[in-house]
Amino acid sequence: MTISRFVQLWTHRYHKYTHIFKAYWLGYLAALKFLLKKSRLKKGQQLVAIIRTEHFGDIVAAEPISRYVRQHYPDAYIVWFVKPVFHELVDYNPSVDEVLKEFCVTQRRVILGTGVFDKVFELQFKNNNHCPKCQVFIDNPVAESRGINVHTYFHFGNLLEVFAQTSGLTPVKSVFPANDQPLLYLQDKHRAKVDSLGLDKPYIVVHCQSNFAPKDWPADRWQQLIQWLSVNYNFQIVEIGLKSNLNIGTESYRNLCGQLSILETAEVIRRADYFIGLDSGPSHLGNATGTFGIVLMGALTGFDEYNPYSGGYGRQENAVLVRKKGLACAELSFEFVRDEVKKILVE
């Protein structure tokens, strides 16, 4: 073994085992905190965990579960486990008493292993329960027993229905038994930020790039669509997301990518006349804020046709899902998408 290889190996091991030590330390520290919290609860009051740590569209889709759990456990102290980058989606939820910003799944395993929680509602399955640094996967026995996994989940309904079944809250392949419209809890600071942007009404929000390439529509067709919208309609076109892969020269286009938090982005979408985007996190923000959605979709990893949404988007009362059965999103032609969009904007 060469010196450089030896250094690489032990550097990797140092970071790995430091990470694992920190996960255990934070796990036992949090468990102790929850044990103290539990000791202060009223007699009969339960400590309840809801676990949905990622992705942000999934967390938005799962929001009705917090209300459903609160309805069934009105006196419980409810803790939502979430990755730190997404905590703002849960911070202001009145059905949740505390947000745990999860360090990694090893920390969670330590906390839950102490038995401090009276009820645990696990809204994810094995592929979401993985820490690459610890090289640890956590199984969800409910999901396993029901055959819900990354290859089958959309056979069990929309995301909300899948998460409710994965947690054991509802029977297999059942509809969600309560209000299924996801909500967001926007604050004055989010409104003030968007006020400061000086957006011109009317405007259309577009989201053109997801975090999963098979869901995407090619950049050149987005450019065609935005150019067509600019020529034929009196809308400002506002792009949101982490980053843009477009080259747009029209004056009616504005790029806000990478400039806003998730809830600031939601407020931009809320004020828009239309949302045009992909099956990705921002489309769930559109559903939750009530902005009419035009969502480009396609066949996805074994699911020829699926519907991830509950509420207004799911019933297509407040959205149109633009797709052709069996075709990937990238296979949708510009002309097909343009004509579908035109039908909505004319009405």
Res. 290: pLDDT tops 70: yes
| Overall average pLDDT of the 115-143 stretch | 91
Mean pLDDT of all residues in 301-322: 95
Identify the residue with better confidence: 190 or 11. Answer: 190
Q: Please give the pLDDT value at position 4.
A: 76
- Round to whole Å and give the CA distance between 271 and 320: 19
Which residues is 204 bridged to in the sheet?
237, 274
What was the pLDDT predicted at 10? 60
Q: Residue 12 — very low, low, confident or very high, per pLDDT cuts 50/70/90?
A: low
Give the pLDDT of residue 14.
66
Q: What is the pLDDT of residue 127?
A: 76
Provide the pLDDT for residue 7.
58
Within 272-347, strands assigned E span: 274-278, 293-296, 319-322
pLDDT (mean) for 76-100:
98
pLDDT of residue 102: 98
Query: Is 70 exceeded by the pLDDT of residue 11?
Result: no
Which element (helix H / strand E) includes 309? none
CATH of 3-167, one of 3.30.70, 3.40.50, 3.90.1570, 1.10.3470: 3.40.50
Q: 347 pLDDT exceeds 60?
A: no
Which residues, in sequence order, are CB contacts of 106 under 8 Å at separation 6+?
20, 23, 24, 27, 131, 134, 136
What pLDDT, on the 0 to 100 scale, is given for residue 257? 98
Q: What is the pLDDT of residues 227-276, one digit of tens each?
A: 999 999 999 999 999 999 999 999 999 999 999 999 999 999 999 999 99
Q: What angle do the packed helices 262-271 and 188-195 form, to 10 degrees?
A: 70
Here the tokens at position 263 are 């809830």
Higher pLDDT: 12 or 219? It is 219
Peptide bond into 202 cis (omega under 30): yes
Cite the residue boundaries of each domain of the chain with CATH code 3.40.50.2000.
Answer: 190-346
The overall average pLDDT reported for the chain is 95
> How large is the average pLDDT for residues 154-162?
97
- The arithmetic mean of pLDDT across residues 152-173, rounded, is 97
Q: Crossing angle, helix 262-271 and helix 281-289, to 10 degrees? A: 50
Which residues, 6 or more positions from 132, have their beta carbon under 8 angstroms from its beta carbon?
A: none
d(C-alpha 17, C-alpha 177), whole Å: 44
Per-residue pLDDT of 136-150, as tens digits, reads 888 999 999 999 999
Q: Which residues of 185-222 are buried (b: 16+ CB within 10 A; e: fewer)?
A: bbeeebeebbeebebeeebbbbbbbbeeeebbbeeebb
Q: Are strands 130-131 and 136-137 parallel, antiparallel or unpaired?
A: antiparallel
How much is the pLDDT for 2? 82
Q: Is the pLDDT of residue 218 over 70?
A: yes
The string of DSSP letters for 21-48 reads: HHHHHHHHHHHHHHHHHHHTSPTTPPEE
Average confidence (pLDDT) over 14-21:
87
User: What pLDDT does residue 234 have?
Assistant: 95
**305, pLDDT greater than 70:** yes
CATH number for the domain running over 190-346: 3.40.50.2000
Lowest-confidence range among 8-22, 55-69, 204-218? 8-22
